[in-house]
Amino acid sequence: MAATVDATRGSALERSWWLRAPAVLVAPRAVFVALRDDSDEAIEARQEPLNAIIGLAGFAAVLATPVARHLLNDPSASLSLIPVWVFLGGAAYAVAVYWLGGGLLYGAARRFGGLGSFRRARSVLALSSAPLALALFTLWPIRIAIYGQNLFRTGGDDWGPGDRTFGGLLYFAFAWSAILLVIGVRSVHGWSWARSLATVGLAAALPALVVLATAL
């Protein structure tokens, strides 16, 4: 009987997280505060929704990379290559951000006196990627419908003011995710804005240096 009650409660908690996780886009503080519950039951209930968010965000992010704009430059390349590349690349991106990015956020938070777990840092990062997951269902379908295959090869009609507008909206999604990350750190730790910004800035310092070194 007790096992049945526990299973029912666990199922209800998981359903509540499927509804709660997308709400981070409109009421972030309440959602992030719920991450303070580090019980095994709460962690298990939110794992799948958070994995889904960061996975979808990974797909949206790899579509925004310069590599995506050259996938069909080779005449022998098939359209079937694109979804396979997006799936594999997006999954790799999501795993890297979830574990490496979560580790950097955890280390930065510890540096500033945070007592939260590595798992909670990963969860904050996953929830913060919700704007990118949203872009996969809103921005990218419209962009692909307008430009089609030209999005994935150079020299097409996907360059110009329209393309720059879509690019600006993608930058907005990344910026929105960064803002949510600061809100998330502040909410789970109960810190000031300055301390939260410093934590996120420290966590982002190494990836920023790597990107800069690659660009140079």
Domain boundaries, the chain: 40-215
Whether the per-residue pLDDT at 8 is higher than 70: the answer is: no
Express each pLDDT in 88-135 by its tens digit.
Answer: 999 999 999 999 999 999 999 999 999 889 999 999 999 999 999 999
User: What pLDDT, on a 0 to 100 scale, did the predictor assign at position 106?
Assistant: 96
Express each pLDDT in 141-184 by its tens digit.
Answer: 999 888 888 888 876 656 677 778 888 999 999 999 999 999 99
Instruction: Give the C-alpha separation, 60 to 150, whole Å.
Output: 17
Give 96-161 as a DSSP string.
HIIIIIHHHHHHHHHHTT----HHHHHHHHHHHTHHHHHHHHTHHHHHHHHHGGGGGSTTSTT-SH
- What is the pTM for the complete model shown? 0.89
Smallest CA-to-CA distance from 129 within 193, 73, 62, 206 is with: 62
Give the C-alpha distances (Å, rounded to integers) separating 30 from 21, 38, 72, 187, 204: 10, 16, 44, 8, 24
Express each pLDDT in 32-68 by its tens digit.
Answer: 999 998 888 888 999 999 999 999 999 999 999 888 8
Helix (H) or strand (E) holding 5: helix 2-20
Instruction: Give the C-alpha separation, 114 to 75, whole Å.
Output: 53
Instruction: Give the C-alpha separation, 3 to 173, whole Å.
Output: 43
User: What pLDDT, on a 0 to 100 scale, did the predictor assign at position 159?
Assistant: 67
Instruction: Give the C-alpha separation, 77 to 67, whole Å.
Output: 14
